[in-house]
Protein backbone atom coordinates (compact mmCIF):
# COMPACT_ATOMS: atom_id res chain seq x y z
CA UNK A 1 0.00 0.00 0.00
CA UNK A 2 1.51 3.32 -1.01
CA UNK A 3 1.51 5.93 1.71
CA UNK A 4 2.62 8.37 -0.94
CA UNK A 5 4.62 11.56 -0.49
CA UNK A 6 4.92 12.91 3.05
CA UNK A 7 3.97 16.49 2.14
CA UNK A 8 4.46 17.75 5.68
CA UNK A 9 8.12 16.72 5.70
CA UNK A 10 8.73 17.96 2.15
CA UNK A 11 7.33 21.42 2.90
CA UNK A 12 9.17 21.63 6.24
CA UNK A 13 12.50 20.77 4.58
CA UNK A 14 11.88 23.34 1.83
CA UNK A 15 11.35 26.01 4.47
CA UNK A 16 14.35 24.88 6.54
CA UNK A 17 16.72 24.79 3.53
CA UNK A 18 15.21 28.12 2.42
CA UNK A 19 16.62 29.73 5.57
CA UNK A 20 20.18 28.55 4.89
CA UNK A 21 22.22 31.34 3.31
CA UNK A 22 20.29 34.45 4.36
CA UNK A 23 22.52 37.55 4.15
CA UNK A 24 22.52 40.57 6.49
CA UNK A 25 19.57 41.99 4.55
CA UNK A 26 17.62 38.74 4.91
CA UNK A 27 18.04 37.85 1.23
CA UNK A 28 18.55 34.21 0.25
CA UNK A 29 21.99 34.11 -1.40
CA UNK A 30 23.43 30.57 -1.57
CA UNK A 31 25.91 30.96 -4.42
CA UNK A 32 27.80 27.93 -5.68
CA UNK A 33 30.74 26.84 -3.50
CA UNK A 34 30.12 29.57 -0.92
CA UNK A 35 29.92 29.05 2.85
CA UNK A 36 26.14 29.21 2.48
CA UNK A 37 26.32 26.47 -0.17
CA UNK A 38 28.39 24.34 2.23
CA UNK A 39 25.75 24.77 4.92
CA UNK A 40 22.99 23.80 2.50
CA UNK A 41 24.95 20.79 1.27
CA UNK A 42 25.69 19.65 4.82
CA UNK A 43 21.98 19.80 5.67
CA UNK A 44 21.01 17.91 2.52
CA UNK A 45 23.70 15.27 3.12
CA UNK A 46 22.29 14.69 6.62
CA UNK A 47 18.81 14.21 5.19
CA UNK A 48 20.09 11.83 2.50
CA UNK A 49 22.01 9.79 5.08
CA UNK A 50 18.97 9.83 7.35
CA UNK A 51 16.95 8.27 4.54
CA UNK A 52 19.44 5.41 4.39
CA UNK A 53 21.10 6.53 1.17
CA UNK A 54 24.80 6.25 0.37
CA UNK A 55 26.15 9.79 -0.07
CA UNK A 56 28.73 10.38 -2.81
CA UNK A 57 30.43 13.57 -4.01
CA UNK A 58 32.28 13.87 -7.30
CA UNK A 59 35.25 16.02 -8.27
CA UNK A 60 33.06 18.95 -9.41
CA UNK A 61 31.10 18.76 -6.17
CA UNK A 62 27.97 17.08 -7.52
CA UNK A 63 26.27 15.52 -4.48
CA UNK A 64 24.35 12.21 -4.76
CA UNK A 65 22.26 10.08 -2.43
CA UNK A 66 22.13 6.54 -3.80
CA UNK A 67 19.71 3.73 -2.98
CA UNK A 68 21.80 0.74 -3.96
CA UNK A 69 19.19 -1.77 -5.04
CA UNK A 70 18.48 -4.13 -7.92
CA UNK A 71 21.01 -4.08 -10.73
CA UNK A 72 22.07 -1.96 -13.65
CA UNK A 73 22.03 1.77 -14.24
CA UNK A 74 20.13 3.89 -11.74
CA UNK A 75 17.09 6.01 -12.30
CA UNK A 76 18.17 9.51 -11.30
CA UNK A 77 16.07 12.37 -9.96
CA UNK A 78 17.28 15.73 -8.71
CA UNK A 79 18.12 19.33 -9.51
CA UNK A 80 20.29 21.89 -7.66
CA UNK A 81 20.42 23.73 -4.33
CA UNK A 82 22.59 26.71 -5.26
CA UNK A 83 20.58 29.91 -5.75
CA UNK A 84 20.71 33.27 -7.49
CA UNK A 85 21.01 36.50 -5.47
CA UNK A 86 17.87 37.30 -3.45
CA UNK A 87 16.30 34.03 -4.51
CA UNK A 88 13.08 32.22 -3.78
CA UNK A 89 13.14 28.96 -1.81
CA UNK A 90 11.75 26.60 -4.48
CA UNK A 91 14.06 26.96 -7.53
CA UNK A 92 16.11 23.75 -7.62
CA UNK A 93 15.63 22.79 -3.97
CA UNK A 94 12.11 21.55 -4.69
CA UNK A 95 13.35 19.00 -7.23
CA UNK A 96 16.08 17.69 -4.94
CA UNK A 97 13.87 17.45 -1.84
CA UNK A 98 10.95 15.95 -3.79
CA UNK A 99 13.42 13.37 -5.13
CA UNK A 100 14.33 12.52 -1.54
CA UNK A 101 10.64 12.34 -0.63
CA UNK A 102 10.10 9.90 -3.51
CA UNK A 103 12.84 7.62 -2.16
CA UNK A 104 11.34 7.72 1.32
CA UNK A 105 7.85 6.97 -0.03
CA UNK A 106 9.09 4.01 -2.10
CA UNK A 107 11.04 2.60 0.84
CA UNK A 108 8.01 3.08 3.09
CA UNK A 109 5.83 1.10 0.71
CA UNK A 110 8.39 -1.69 0.66
CA UNK A 111 9.16 -1.46 -3.05
CA UNK A 112 12.05 -3.70 -4.07
CA UNK A 113 13.43 -1.73 -7.00
CA UNK A 114 14.71 -3.51 -10.11
CA UNK A 115 17.47 -0.91 -10.35
CA UNK A 116 19.22 1.65 -8.10
CA UNK A 117 17.78 5.12 -7.52
CA UNK A 118 19.96 8.22 -7.17
CA UNK A 119 19.02 11.69 -5.90
CA UNK A 120 21.31 14.38 -7.34
CA UNK A 121 22.14 17.96 -6.33
CA UNK A 122 24.28 19.32 -9.14
CA UNK A 123 26.92 21.97 -8.52
CA UNK A 124 26.51 25.53 -9.78
CA UNK A 125 23.31 25.25 -11.77
CA UNK A 126 22.69 28.99 -11.56
CA UNK A 127 26.02 30.18 -12.93
CA UNK A 128 25.74 33.48 -11.03
CA UNK A 129 29.21 33.29 -9.44
CA UNK A 130 30.96 30.91 -11.90
CA UNK A 131 29.93 30.58 -15.56
CA UNK A 132 28.55 28.67 -17.35
CA UNK A 133 25.34 27.74 -15.61
CA UNK A 134 24.35 24.08 -15.27
CA UNK A 135 28.10 23.55 -14.82
CA UNK A 136 28.09 20.47 -12.55
CA UNK A 137 25.63 18.56 -14.72
CA UNK A 138 27.48 19.65 -17.88
CA UNK A 139 30.72 18.18 -16.50
CA UNK A 140 28.78 15.06 -15.39
CA UNK A 141 27.49 14.68 -18.97
CA UNK A 142 30.97 15.10 -20.45
CA UNK A 143 30.20 18.48 -22.04
CA UNK A 144 32.82 20.45 -20.12
CA UNK A 145 36.32 19.35 -19.15
CA UNK A 146 36.68 18.93 -15.39
CA UNK A 147 39.98 20.81 -15.15
CA UNK A 148 38.53 23.70 -17.16
CA UNK A 149 35.51 23.86 -14.87
CA UNK A 150 37.60 23.75 -11.70
CA UNK A 151 39.78 26.56 -13.08
CA UNK A 152 36.81 28.88 -13.72
CA UNK A 153 37.15 32.29 -12.10
CA UNK A 154 34.20 33.67 -10.17
CA UNK A 155 32.74 37.17 -10.36
CA UNK A 156 34.53 37.67 -7.02
CA UNK A 157 37.90 36.54 -8.42
CA UNK A 158 37.87 33.17 -6.65
CA UNK A 159 38.71 29.87 -8.36
CA UNK A 160 35.97 27.22 -8.30
CA UNK A 161 38.27 24.28 -7.55
CA UNK A 162 39.80 26.09 -4.58
CA UNK A 163 36.37 27.06 -3.28
CA UNK A 164 35.09 23.47 -3.53
CA UNK A 165 38.13 22.30 -1.57
CA UNK A 166 37.64 25.09 0.98
CA UNK A 167 34.02 24.09 1.64
CA UNK A 168 34.90 20.40 1.72
CA UNK A 169 33.02 19.35 -1.42
CA UNK A 170 35.83 18.54 -3.84
CA UNK A 171 34.90 14.88 -4.00
CA UNK A 172 36.93 11.94 -5.25
CA UNK A 173 34.36 10.33 -7.57
CA UNK A 174 35.03 10.91 -11.26
CA UNK A 175 32.17 13.00 -12.71
CA UNK A 176 29.91 10.89 -14.88
CA UNK A 177 30.62 7.68 -12.98
CA UNK A 178 26.90 7.35 -12.28
CA UNK A 179 25.43 6.74 -15.71
CA UNK A 180 21.64 6.99 -15.32
CA UNK A 181 19.15 4.82 -17.17
CA UNK A 182 16.85 7.85 -17.07
CA UNK A 183 16.79 11.29 -15.44
CA UNK A 184 13.71 13.13 -14.18
CA UNK A 185 13.71 16.66 -12.81
CA UNK A 186 10.79 18.21 -10.98
CA UNK A 187 10.91 22.01 -10.90
CA UNK A 188 8.73 25.04 -10.39
CA UNK A 189 7.87 26.46 -13.82
CA UNK A 190 9.27 29.92 -13.07
CA UNK A 191 6.92 31.35 -15.70
CA UNK A 192 3.20 32.15 -16.20
CA UNK A 193 2.07 29.37 -18.57
CA UNK A 194 0.62 26.75 -16.20
CA UNK A 195 -1.18 29.32 -14.09
CA UNK A 196 -2.68 30.98 -17.19
CA UNK A 197 -3.80 27.59 -18.49
CA UNK A 198 -5.07 26.40 -15.09
CA UNK A 199 -2.85 23.34 -15.58
CA UNK A 200 -1.46 21.59 -12.50
CA UNK A 201 1.38 19.78 -14.24
CA UNK A 202 3.72 20.70 -17.08
CA UNK A 203 5.14 17.80 -19.10
CA UNK A 204 8.21 19.57 -20.43
CA UNK A 205 8.91 18.44 -23.99
CA UNK A 206 11.77 20.79 -24.78
CA UNK A 207 13.97 23.59 -23.44
CA UNK A 208 15.11 26.74 -25.22
CA UNK A 209 18.66 27.57 -26.35
CA UNK A 210 20.79 29.89 -24.18
CA UNK A 211 23.54 32.36 -25.10
CA UNK A 212 25.45 34.23 -22.35
CA UNK A 213 28.09 36.90 -23.12
CA UNK A 214 30.01 39.44 -21.04
CA UNK A 215 30.81 42.75 -22.82
CA UNK A 216 33.60 45.09 -21.70
CA UNK A 217 33.41 48.66 -23.03
CA UNK A 218 36.54 50.82 -22.84
CA UNK A 219 35.98 54.56 -23.27
CA UNK A 220 37.84 57.39 -21.55
CA UNK A 221 37.14 58.68 -18.07
CA UNK A 222 36.88 62.44 -18.05
CA UNK A 223 35.45 65.40 -16.17
CA UNK A 224 31.63 65.51 -16.25
CA UNK A 225 31.63 69.31 -16.27
CA UNK A 226 34.45 70.36 -18.53
CA UNK A 227 34.23 67.76 -21.34
CA UNK A 228 32.17 68.93 -24.36
CA UNK A 229 29.59 66.29 -25.43
CA UNK A 230 31.22 65.91 -28.87
CA UNK A 231 34.57 64.98 -27.29
CA UNK A 232 33.30 62.24 -24.97
CA UNK A 233 34.13 58.54 -25.15
CA UNK A 234 31.40 57.68 -22.71
CA UNK A 235 31.36 53.95 -21.86
CA UNK A 236 28.17 54.46 -19.88
CA UNK A 237 26.27 55.91 -22.81
CA UNK A 238 27.55 53.14 -25.06
CA UNK A 239 26.31 50.55 -22.56
CA UNK A 240 22.91 52.25 -22.43
CA UNK A 241 22.66 52.14 -26.25
CA UNK A 242 23.33 48.39 -26.15
CA UNK A 243 20.77 47.81 -23.41
CA UNK A 244 18.06 49.66 -25.35
CA UNK A 245 19.20 48.26 -28.72
CA UNK A 246 18.83 44.72 -27.36
CA UNK A 247 15.14 45.30 -26.72
CA UNK A 248 14.64 45.68 -30.50
CA UNK A 249 16.34 42.27 -31.04
CA UNK A 250 13.94 40.49 -28.74
CA UNK A 251 11.08 39.60 -31.03
CA UNK A 252 9.37 36.51 -32.47
CA UNK A 253 10.30 34.23 -29.59
CA UNK A 254 13.73 35.56 -28.63
CA UNK A 255 14.16 36.98 -25.12
CA UNK A 256 17.05 39.29 -24.22
CA UNK A 257 18.25 40.42 -20.80
CA UNK A 258 21.02 42.63 -19.44
CA UNK A 259 21.09 41.39 -15.86
CA UNK A 260 24.37 42.89 -14.72
CA UNK A 261 25.77 46.33 -15.57
CA UNK A 262 28.73 48.01 -13.87
CA UNK A 263 30.23 51.45 -14.65
CA UNK A 264 33.80 52.38 -13.75
CA UNK A 265 34.85 54.35 -11.77
CA UNK A 266 31.17 54.73 -10.77
CA UNK A 267 31.38 58.34 -9.57
CA UNK A 268 28.81 61.07 -10.04
CA UNK A 269 31.13 63.58 -11.71
CA UNK A 270 33.26 61.23 -13.84
CA UNK A 271 32.32 60.19 -17.37
CA UNK A 272 32.49 56.36 -17.18
CA UNK A 273 35.80 55.20 -18.64
CA UNK A 274 34.60 51.58 -18.69
CA UNK A 275 31.45 49.51 -18.47
CA UNK A 276 30.93 45.76 -18.02
CA UNK A 277 27.57 44.21 -18.86
CA UNK A 278 26.16 40.73 -19.41
CA UNK A 279 23.79 39.71 -22.20
CA UNK A 280 21.46 36.69 -21.84
CA UNK A 281 19.75 35.69 -25.14
CA UNK A 282 17.36 32.73 -25.39
CA UNK A 283 15.13 31.18 -28.03
CA UNK A 284 13.55 27.74 -28.54
CA UNK A 285 14.67 27.95 -32.19
CA UNK A 286 18.41 27.62 -32.84
CA UNK A 287 18.26 29.62 -36.10
CA UNK A 288 16.58 32.59 -34.41
CA UNK A 289 19.01 32.43 -31.49
CA UNK A 290 22.00 32.50 -33.87
CA UNK A 291 20.38 35.41 -35.74
CA UNK A 292 19.93 37.32 -32.45
CA UNK A 293 23.62 36.76 -31.64
CA UNK A 294 24.58 38.07 -35.08
CA UNK A 295 22.33 41.12 -34.60
CA UNK A 296 23.96 41.76 -31.22
CA UNK A 297 27.42 41.72 -32.74
CA UNK A 298 26.22 44.19 -35.40
CA UNK A 299 24.83 46.46 -32.67
CA UNK A 300 28.13 46.25 -30.75
CA UNK A 301 30.14 47.27 -33.85
CA UNK A 302 27.75 50.15 -34.60
CA UNK A 303 27.82 51.52 -31.03
CA UNK A 304 31.62 51.16 -30.77
CA UNK A 305 32.09 53.22 -33.95
CA UNK A 306 29.50 55.84 -33.04
CA UNK A 307 30.71 56.35 -29.45
CA UNK A 308 34.47 56.04 -30.11
CA UNK A 309 34.82 53.18 -27.61
CA UNK A 310 36.35 49.68 -27.80
CA UNK A 311 34.04 46.78 -26.99
CA UNK A 312 35.26 43.23 -26.32
CA UNK A 313 32.92 40.26 -25.89
CA UNK A 314 33.52 37.10 -23.86
CA UNK A 315 31.29 34.03 -24.33
CA UNK A 316 30.13 32.65 -20.98
CA UNK A 317 27.69 29.95 -22.07
CA UNK A 318 26.08 28.64 -25.25
CA UNK A 319 23.61 25.75 -25.24
CA UNK A 320 21.43 24.68 -28.14
CA UNK A 321 17.73 23.98 -27.63
CA UNK A 322 17.07 20.50 -26.22
CA UNK A 323 14.23 18.03 -26.87
CA UNK A 324 13.39 15.71 -23.96
CA UNK A 325 12.64 12.00 -24.27
CA UNK A 326 9.14 11.60 -25.78
CA UNK A 327 8.50 8.30 -23.97
CA UNK A 328 9.30 9.89 -20.60
CA UNK A 329 7.19 12.95 -21.43
CA UNK A 330 4.30 10.61 -22.23
CA UNK A 331 4.79 8.81 -18.89
CA UNK A 332 4.52 12.17 -17.11
CA UNK A 333 1.30 13.01 -18.94
CA UNK A 334 -0.18 9.57 -18.13
CA UNK A 335 0.81 9.80 -14.47
CA UNK A 336 -0.75 13.26 -14.15
CA UNK A 337 -3.91 12.22 -15.98
CA UNK A 338 -4.27 9.11 -13.78
CA UNK A 339 -4.32 11.41 -10.76
CA UNK A 340 -6.88 13.65 -12.46
CA UNK A 341 -4.40 16.54 -12.67
CA UNK A 342 -4.78 18.89 -15.66
CA UNK A 343 -1.52 18.54 -17.60
CA UNK A 344 -0.07 20.23 -20.67
CA UNK A 345 3.08 19.90 -22.73
CA UNK A 346 5.35 22.89 -22.74
CA UNK A 347 8.76 24.38 -23.39
CA UNK A 348 11.08 25.36 -20.57
CA UNK A 349 12.14 29.01 -20.74
CA UNK A 350 14.74 28.41 -18.03
CA UNK A 351 17.88 26.33 -18.22
CA UNK A 352 18.01 23.18 -16.11
CA UNK A 353 20.34 20.30 -15.29
CA UNK A 354 17.99 18.04 -17.26
CA UNK A 355 19.16 19.66 -20.48
CA UNK A 356 22.67 18.35 -19.73
CA UNK A 357 21.57 14.87 -18.59
CA UNK A 358 19.63 14.65 -21.88
CA UNK A 359 23.05 14.33 -23.55
CA UNK A 360 23.67 10.97 -21.87
CA UNK A 361 20.29 9.42 -21.05
CA UNK A 362 16.55 9.73 -21.63
CA UNK A 363 15.54 12.81 -19.61
CA UNK A 364 12.45 14.89 -18.99
CA UNK A 365 11.02 17.46 -16.59
CA UNK A 366 7.85 17.96 -14.60
CA UNK A 367 6.71 21.52 -13.84
CA UNK A 368 4.30 22.84 -11.26
CA UNK A 369 2.80 26.35 -11.41
CA UNK A 370 4.59 29.48 -10.17
CA UNK A 371 2.26 32.12 -8.72
CA UNK A 372 2.20 35.13 -11.09
CA UNK A 373 5.00 33.40 -13.03
CA UNK A 374 7.55 34.90 -10.64
CA UNK A 375 10.99 33.36 -9.99
CA UNK A 376 14.57 34.44 -9.26
CA UNK A 377 12.79 36.68 -6.75
CA UNK A 378 11.89 36.18 -3.06
CA UNK A 379 8.23 36.41 -4.08
CA UNK A 380 8.64 33.03 -5.84
CA UNK A 381 5.78 30.83 -4.59
CA UNK A 382 3.96 27.61 -5.37
CA UNK A 383 0.98 26.44 -3.31
CA UNK A 384 1.69 23.50 -0.95
CA UNK A 385 -0.92 21.26 -2.58
CA UNK A 386 0.65 21.95 -5.99
CA UNK A 387 4.11 21.09 -4.64
CA UNK A 388 2.84 17.79 -3.23
CA UNK A 389 0.94 16.98 -6.44
CA UNK A 390 4.12 17.45 -8.48
CA UNK A 391 6.04 15.18 -6.13
CA UNK A 392 3.35 12.50 -6.39
CA UNK A 393 3.56 12.57 -10.20
CA UNK A 394 7.33 12.20 -9.88
CA UNK A 395 6.76 9.28 -7.50
CA UNK A 396 4.43 7.53 -9.96
CA UNK A 397 6.77 7.93 -12.93
CA UNK A 398 9.81 6.80 -10.92
CA UNK A 399 7.96 3.79 -9.48
CA UNK A 400 7.10 2.74 -13.04
CA UNK A 401 10.71 3.06 -14.15
CA UNK A 402 12.12 1.27 -11.10
CA UNK A 403 9.62 -1.54 -11.18
CA UNK A 404 9.88 -1.90 -14.96
CA UNK A 405 11.96 -4.86 -16.07
CA UNK A 406 13.46 -2.72 -18.82
CA UNK A 407 14.55 0.89 -19.24
CA UNK A 408 12.24 3.79 -20.05
CA UNK A 409 10.37 3.82 -23.32
What residue ranges bind Mn ion (CB under 5 A)? 91-92
Half-sphere exposure of 207 (CA within 13 A, CB side): 25
Please say whether the beta carbons of 387 and 11 come within 8 A. yes
Handedness of CA 172, 75, 322, 336 (dihedral sign): negative
Report, in Å, the least distance between residue 213 CB and ligand HGY: 14
185 binds, among Mn ion, ligand HGY, none (CB under 5 to 8 A by kind): none
* Cβ neighbours for 34, distance < 8 A, ≥ 6 positions apart: 21, 129, 163, 167
- Distance of alpha carbon 63 from alpha carbon 121, whole angstroms: 5
Report, in Å, the least distance between residue 228 CB and Mn ion: 45
- Distance of alpha carbon 136 from alpha carbon 129, whole angstroms: 13
> Hey, which residues does 369 pair with through a beta bridge?
none
- Distance of alpha carbon 74 from alpha carbon 45, whole angstroms: 19
92 binds, among Mn ion, ligand HGY, none (CB under 5 to 8 A by kind): Mn ion
Please say whether the beta carbons of 105 and 6 come within 8 A. yes
> Residue 126 or 380: which CB sits closer to ligand HGY?
126
> Residue 134 or 167: which CB sits closer to ligand HGY?
134
58 binds, among Mn ion, ligand HGY, none (CB under 5 to 8 A by kind): none
> Residue 58 or 125: which CB sits closer to ligand HGY?
125
Residue 37 burial (C-beta neighbours within 10 Å; 0-12, 13-18, 19+): buried
351 binds, among ligand HGY, Mn ion, none (CB under 5 to 8 A by kind): ligand HGY
Report, in Å, the least distance between residue 60 CB and ligand HGY: 16
> Residue 40 or 351: which CB sits closer to ligand HGY?
351
325 binds, among Mn ion, ligand HGY, none (CB under 5 to 8 A by kind): none
127 binds, among ligand HGY, Mn ion, none (CB under 5 to 8 A by kind): ligand HGY
Report, in Å, the least distance between residue 259 CB and Mn ion: 12
Please say whether the beta carbons of 31 and 129 come within 8 A. yes
Chain positions contacting ligand HGY, by CB under 6 A:
125-127, 133, 350-351
> Residue 233 or 375: which CB sits closer to Mn ion?
375
Report, in Å, the least distance between residue 204 CB and Mn ion: 12
Report, in Å, the least distance between residue 351 CB and Mn ion: 8
Kindly report the number of other CB atoms within 10 A of residue 406's CB atom.
Answer: 9
* Cβ neighbours for 188, distance < 8 A, ≥ 6 positions apart: 88, 90, 91, 94, 367, 368, 369, 370, 375, 380, 382
> Residue 125 or 325: which CB sits closer to ligand HGY?
125
For 161-221, what is the HEC assignment?
A: HHHHHHCCCCCCECCCCCCCCEEEEEEECCCCHHHHHCCCEEEEEEECEEEEEEEEEECCC
353 binds, among ligand HGY, Mn ion, none (CB under 5 to 8 A by kind): none
234 binds, among Mn ion, ligand HGY, none (CB under 5 to 8 A by kind): none
133 binds, among ligand HGY, Mn ion, none (CB under 5 to 8 A by kind): ligand HGY
Report, in Å, the least distance between residue 91 CB and ligand HGY: 7
> Residue 133 or 283: which CB sits closer to ligand HGY?
133
- Distance of alpha carbon 377 from alpha carbon 304, whole angstroms: 34
Pick from 106, 127, 126, 108: which is nearest to 116 by CA? 106
- For 4: left if phi > 0, alpha if psi spans -120 to 50, otherwise beta; the answer is left
Report, in Å, the least distance between residue 317 CB and ligand HGY: 9
> Residue 217 or 346: which CB sits closer to Mn ion?
346
DSSP structure string for 312-345: EEEEEEEE--EEPPHHHHHHHHHHHHHTT--EEE
> Residue 245 or 349: which CB sits closer to Mn ion?
349
Report, in Å, the least distance between residue 205 CB and ligand HGY: 17
Residue facing Mn ion at closest CB distance: 92
Amino acid sequence: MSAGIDGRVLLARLRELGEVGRDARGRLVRLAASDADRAGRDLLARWLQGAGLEVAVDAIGNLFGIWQAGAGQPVMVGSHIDTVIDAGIYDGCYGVLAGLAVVEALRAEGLVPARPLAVAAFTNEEGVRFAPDMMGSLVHAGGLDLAEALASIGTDGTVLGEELRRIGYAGSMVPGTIRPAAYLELHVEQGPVLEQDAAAIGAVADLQGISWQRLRIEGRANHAGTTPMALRQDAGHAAARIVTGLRALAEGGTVATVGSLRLEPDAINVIPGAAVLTVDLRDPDEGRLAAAEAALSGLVAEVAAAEGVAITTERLARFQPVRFDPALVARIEQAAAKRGLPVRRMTSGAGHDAQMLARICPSAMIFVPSRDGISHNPAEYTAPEALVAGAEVLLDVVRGLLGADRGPG
